[in-house]
A and B are shown apart, each in its own frame.
Chain A
Amino acid sequence: MAFRKIDIDALEEDAFGEDEIDFQEIGELRPLADVEAQVNSRAQEVRSLLQRGNTSGALSTSLQNPPYGAPFHAAKARNTQTVMEVLNSIKVADVPQLVKSLSPEEQDVLMKYLYAGMAAPEQNNSGHLLAWHEKLTEVAGQGCIVRVITDRRTV
């Protein structure tokens, strides 16, 4: 219908808009200060776990409670950085076993961060992230990747 000039769906009063969808999927947003505080404290906790050599604990902690929500750009970037630190400090040989020990929710969150990391190849080692991606797909399957694409809660 290329000859039609009116976008009839834009004129609809009761449209199911982005805001409503995000509210349905993410819920009430926490205050910005709370979210940033949580992300910062998590970064410190993860760093200390890494220094003590507890890589599985660090990985698991970094994947808890991601800052979902449209206004939290800085917090998301900070949290992605934290996760990248953990991923970079783990040897490729250890990856398969660590990935298997994650819960299904953590695996889905990890896949989200892998794609977030690969989206910024200047900052992150894409080759290393691809190795993680391969091992995670072996365990969690294509369904995990589909969930990254469908889920409105982005990291």
Chain B
Amino acid sequence: MSDSPIVNEFNQGPISCHAFNGDRTELAVCFNTNVVSIFRKSGAGWTQTSTLAEHDKPVTSVDWAPKSNRIVTCSQDRNAYVWTLDGASHQWKPTLVLLRINRAATFVRWSPEEDKFAVASGSRCISVCYFEEDNDWWVGKHIKKPIRSTVLSLDWHPNNVLLAAGCADMKARVFSAFIKGIDKKPAPSPWGEKLPFNTVCGEFSNGAGGWIHGVAFSPSGESLAFTGHDSTITVVSPGTGDIQSIRAPYLPYLSVIWLNENQIVAAGHDCAPHLFELKGQQWAFSASLDAAVKKADVGFTARDTFRRMDSRAQSATSTDTEVHTHHQNTINSIRPFSGTPGHVEQFSTSGIDGKLIIWNANSISRGLGNLHL
């Protein structure tokens, strides 16, 4: 496994969302259009194998269930489709899901057991959808109260019942998405005991307001991390009652994941993944995981420089317009790639620059390992 990040450039436009299949041989990507492209790994690159075209408006989010190999997509057209691979024809067949929302869907995630999925929407509600055997279709139940604005992101708790939601009303909330008949009663957790559907198990905000762009449960589910547009990351642990807000001196993060119980990686408008670590009892910013791009990669010969100037219609060279990170524009999604949920070894990021980059978390931890007690 190489230490430097693996950069995949598709040159098909900005990437709005991406998802890998279970063994990471296939990739579903949306280039800010109405369709989702499926790629298969071939050698060092990716070749396109199929296109999921059913939505009428841009697809906002895609998720690929690793075990059941089903894809769910949601779009601004207020719909979601569940795609299953037809064994004989190797075609992806869509099934419409009635979300009953009157605004765009913004985010979708399969639950850990892959028997439900949750769709966040601009209708100020979350549709928790499950398959009803009797009618042979997907049905959605709404989590509405007390959401006051668009839900921007979701994350499922490992117990398959609790759901965290980051919202444009500047609150991060944890709801119970318990579906009778699908879920068994969950074990008591620091988030609550009796948990009927739509129970609010917690409502939190960052220090200075701002939409909550990303939420993530810790691998054990004991803590919740969320990041907002006020460039703050907050970690909440209801078991101990601990709430820590870290004011970052950087531009806001849009997405956040846990590498393990002590490390969080967040990425966003600064175009690089940033590592936050728990040292003792305190969470703090550790380092950017993107060392500056070496000059050689950018093309430093006189010919390259003038070619760049030509393509940008510049009259004088200026190195200020190059962003010295691998991503050249905002990262809008970060997802675990390899390892277990409790020990993520690699993670993937996609951004508006149209690149999908797979980072190696181990090399960073090794490098920073010296800083630990």
Residues on A close to B: CB < 8 A?
A: 16, 20-21, 24-25, 104-105, 108, 139-144, 146-147, 150-153
* Cα–Cα, bound, A133→B251 (Å): 17
Interface of B is mostly: loop
Residues of B within 8 A of A25 (CB): 170, 209
Contact flag A141-B249 (CB < 8 Å), given A25-B170, A146-B230, A146-B231: yes
A16 near B208 (CB under 8 angstroms)?
no
B247 near A108 (CB under 8 angstroms)?
yes
Residues on B close to A: CB < 8 A?
A: 148-149, 169-170, 207-210, 228-232, 247-252
In the complex, number of A-B residue pairs with CB atoms less than 8 Å apart = 58
A143 near B249 (CB under 8 angstroms)?
yes
Among A141, A150, A153, point to the contact of B250 (Cβ < 8 A).
Answer: A141
Q: Nearest-CB distance from A63 to chain B (Å)? A: 15
Chain B residue with the shortest CB-CB distance to A104: B247
* Cα–Cα, bound, A66→B209 (Å): 16
Q: Nearest-CB distance from A17 to chain B (Å)? A: 10
Chain B residue with the shortest CB-CB distance to A140: B249
Enumerate the 9 nearest inter-chain pairs by beta-carbon distance, A residue then B residue, closest first. A141-B249, A143-B231, A150-B210, A151-B208, A16-B148, A150-B230, A147-B208, A143-B249, A146-B231
A143 near B250 (CB under 8 angstroms)?
yes
Residues of A within 8 A of B169 (CB): 16, 21, 24
B209 near A146 (CB under 8 angstroms)?
no
18 more A-B residue pairs beyond the given contacts A150-B229, A153-B208, with a C-beta to C-beta distance below 8 A: A16-B169, A21-B169, A24-B169, A108-B247, A139-B249, A140-B249, A141-B249, A142-B250, A143-B248, A143-B249, A143-B251, A144-B247, A146-B229, A146-B230, A147-B230, A150-B208, A150-B209, A153-B209
Chain A residue with the shortest CB-CB distance to B210: A150
A144 near B148 (CB under 8 angstroms)?
no
A146 near B149 (CB under 8 angstroms)?
no
Among A20, A146, A150, point to the contact of B148 (Cβ < 8 A).
Answer: A20
Residues of B within 8 A of A143 (CB): 231-232, 247-252
Q: Nearest-CB distance from B356 to chain A (Å)? A: 26
Residues of A within 8 A of B170 (CB): 21, 24-25
What are 27 A-B pairs with beta-carbon distances under 8 A?
A16-B148, A16-B169, A25-B170, A105-B207, A108-B208, A139-B249, A141-B248, A141-B249, A142-B231, A143-B232, A143-B248, A143-B250, A143-B252, A144-B247, A144-B249, A146-B229, A146-B231, A146-B252, A147-B208, A147-B230, A147-B231, A147-B232, A150-B230, A151-B210, A151-B230, A152-B209, A153-B208
* Cα–Cα, bound, A104→B208 (Å): 12
